[in-house]
Structure 1
Amino acid sequence: MKIGEFARLAEVSPKMLRHYDAIDLFKPQRLDHDTGYRLYDERQLTRLNWIVTLKNLDFSLSDIRALLSGPVDSAAFLTAIAQKRIEIANALNEQLVKSIQIERLFDLVKQEGFRMDRTIDLNALTTESINAIKKNMPNLETMLEKARTILSDAVEGNTFGLLRMDLRQFKAVNDIDGYEVGDKVIVALYQVLESVLATRNKKASLARAGGDEFAIVLEGKPDEIEATAKAFKEGVEAIDYKALGCHKPVQIYIAGIVSSNTAYEHFRALLDQTTEVLLDARQDVVNGGSGIKLITKN
């Protein structure tokens, strides 16, 4: 079929098909040398649908080409998807922070006695009020900045752990019990993590890395970090989910990398490397294991 007909069938534009042809990402089945028409076959829709799906998830065209160039190792594909999930979650987290800030700004202006029939001097707001607007749940960037301080103050030779904790089938909580219950569960989890860190680790930083994921950096020996991870799990299991309105307890899995404090320059790379470990931890939960996976980097 001609390019226009195929484009309508695939719900894309002919311009997009021409561009993908030009960059060798998606070629027509054949080219009619007499007319110059690009001719496509309906069987090509599967590949095109993959291209559109991955592009909508912000995969680069070069990444898409690599993924569709031939058989791809399933673990590598899952890792790529998990990494993209983190990027999307981080973007959503940034929007969440802005949403919290605008709500606090709105409340602050109301508290300052704002009325439609008068003016308000923003420069007259107190420092305390301004700080109240900026205050929000720590995100990854906040955690990484605190991690810099933790590691720079650490004694040479000490080790630190980078932990990531995710929730299994948390979507079911929102779908069945509602988003308000889901929010209560997230807050309860955050409080458990804070409590564990307060009693076990003097130097630690905690952040919400996405909708249902948390990240923690903490100083300590490998066995201390593992003990902290186990304490997280025990604390989460001890939550009274019924009181929160949750239909069943939430399962968590934890991935971690233990490294020397001199590795901060590669900290973001370590964060990326925990993606694969997190997949292993998730599978461990599925198989009935503890769901805690830690590896050591020299």
Structure 2
Amino acid sequence: MFTIGDFASLGRVSVRMLRHYDALGLLEPARVDPFSGYRFYSAEQLSRLNRIIALKELGFTLQQVGAILDEKVDVVELRGMLRMRRAQLEHQVSTDTARLAAVNARLRLIEIEGHMNTQDVVLKSLPAMRLATLSAVAASYASSDIGPTIQPLYKQLLERVTEAGVMPTGSPVAYYTPANDDGAVTVVAGFTVSAQASPEQRFDIAELPAVPRAAALIHHGSLENADETYQALAKWIEDNGYRADGAGYAREVYLDTPMDDISKWVTEMQIVLLPDSDA
């Protein structure tokens, strides 16, 4: 089971939105603690969340979304509706590109439901890391918001570490703080370094602690499709009885990033697990 904060992060929505869906009866928690009132969700509920977001992007009101879901619209019908909306978006102005990407991402998630590849997930420890970092705030965890936020950070960071005479010692790393109720998230771009902090440098030094246990999965290709990999990780975590650590939600290690072809990128997605998980 996932806390409302962890589930919101995995589903790329805000905590406030999940509470709103609960109030409307669209997506109720799998369990509510009778003493604390804390809400808990299961990985299985990502399926319903994907449909709610997809139908919302089609322009349906939340009341209409509820009616459609209660009639159990199947994947074939939903795919047809999404493709029709995609055709409409392709004729709109460039400012709608982000919405189109969101629809495509949710469509992919719906199409692979029941076929997520979790066989390649590995359980591993993560070493402590010293990173030279820059950070910025993205509007949400959605790939369409994360990508434009993090990409300029790496260019700026490389310029600044070079200016300071600091040499990266390993692969670039990114990590994120949990989303607040409005869905905003702090994106941190980093290079592994051995240097100590210096008042003259124009970047921060972050010390990531060693992690005894994390679930990791290799993602191939553009990070626009990263949601698929993260939701596969979520399914594996729940299927194997682990729990995600919300404080260290996700790390990404960019193993290979040819600038001329993002389809050949290789990224390891890592979700930190609570040490007291029982699996």
* Largest Rg, 1 or 2: 1
The structure whose RCO (Cα within 8 Å, separation 6+) is larger is 2
* Fold shared per TM-score above 0.5: no
Bigger fraction of residues in helix:
1
Bigger fraction of residues in strand:
2
TM-score (norm 1): 0.29
